[in-house]
C-alpha cells in the first residue's frame, strides 16, 4: 500500500483546518474539472472513532467547505459531493491509518498471505501498529509495503 501525504493533494492544506475546526477530519479531497464545471469529492470522518458521521454532519461541513473551495478556485460553477467514510471503507492511502486511530480494521498482510485484524494504535509514514487479540492484547506492526489492501471491520 502506498503512503501519500494528505497535504500533497491539491487544496487539502487549505481545507483541512476548516474541517478540523468544525470537529471532523478531512480524509479525502479531490478537485477536478468536468465538462465546464469543477467536480469536488470529499470524505470526512469523526475525530472520535466511536462516533459515526450522519447527514447533518455532512451538511454542516458542506456549507462551510464549498464557499472556501469556490473562493480558492475562483468559480461558483462547482458540484460538490461530501460523504462519510462508510461502514466498510477500503482504505486507499496508507496516510489514512493515522486519521482512523482507534478504529477496527483488517489488513491483508502479504508476508503471511492472510488478513490481520485489530484496532489501530498508531501509524507513521512506514507502518501501522494494530492491537490484536481478544483477551491478551498483542501489538502487531505491519509495514505499508506488506499491505495489499485494508478495510474497516464492521461489527
Taking the CB of residue 60, how many other CB atoms lie within 10 A of it? 16
Q: How far apart are CA 117 and CA 122, in angstroms?
A: 14
Asked if residue 126 has pLDDT above 70, the reply is yes
What's the pLDDT band for 12 if we cut at 50, 70, 90? very high
Asked if residue 36 has pLDDT above 90, the reply is no
3-state SS track over 59-105: HHHHHHHHHHHHHHHCCCCEEEEEECCCCCCECCCCCHHHHCCCCEE
94 — phi, psi (to 5°)?
-60, -25
Averaged confidence pLDDT in the chain: 93
In the block, residue with C-alpha cell 487479540 = 133
Averaged over 113-130, what is the pLDDT? 95
pLDDT in the model for residue 155: 59
The closest alpha carbon to 19, from 52, 44, 48, belongs to: 44
What's the pLDDT band for 31 if we cut at 50, 70, 90? very high
What's the pLDDT band for 52 if we cut at 50, 70, 90? confident
Instruction: Report the percent of the chain where pLDDT is more than 70.
Output: 99
For 55-114, what is each residue's pLDDT tens digit? 999 999 999 999 999 999 999 899 999 999 988 899 999 999 999 999 999 999 999 999
Q: At what angle do helices 55-73 and 12-21 cross, to 10 degrees?
A: 140
pLDDT in the model for residue 137: 86
Amino acid at each position: 500500500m502506498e503512503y501519500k501525504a494528505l497535504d500533497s493533494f491539491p487544496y487539502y492544506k487549505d481545507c483541512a483546518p476548516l474541517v478540523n475546526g468544525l470537529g471532523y477530519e478531512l480524509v479525502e479531497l479531490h478537485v477536478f474539472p468536468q465538462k465546464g464545471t469543477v467536480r469536488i469529492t470529499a470524505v470526512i470522518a469523526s475525530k472520535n472513532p466511536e462516533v459515526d458521521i450522519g447527514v447533518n454532519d455532512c451538511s454542516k461541513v458542506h456549507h462551510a467547505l464549498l464557499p472556501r473551495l469556490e473562493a480558492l478556485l475562483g468559480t461558483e460553477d462547482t458540484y460538490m459531493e461530501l460523504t462519510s467514510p462508510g461502514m466498510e471503507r477500503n482504505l486507499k492511502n496508507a496516510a489514512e491509518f493515522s486519521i482512523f486511530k482507534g478504529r477496527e480494521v483488517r489488513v491483508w498482510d502479504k508476508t503471511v498471505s492472510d488478513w490481520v485484524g485489530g484496532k489501530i494504535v498508531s501509524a507513521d509514514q512506514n507502518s501501522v501498529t494494530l492491537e490484536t487479540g481478544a483477551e491478551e492484547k498483542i501489538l502487531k506492526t505491519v509495514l505499508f509495503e506488506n499491505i495489499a489492501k485494508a478495510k474497516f471491520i464492521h461489527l
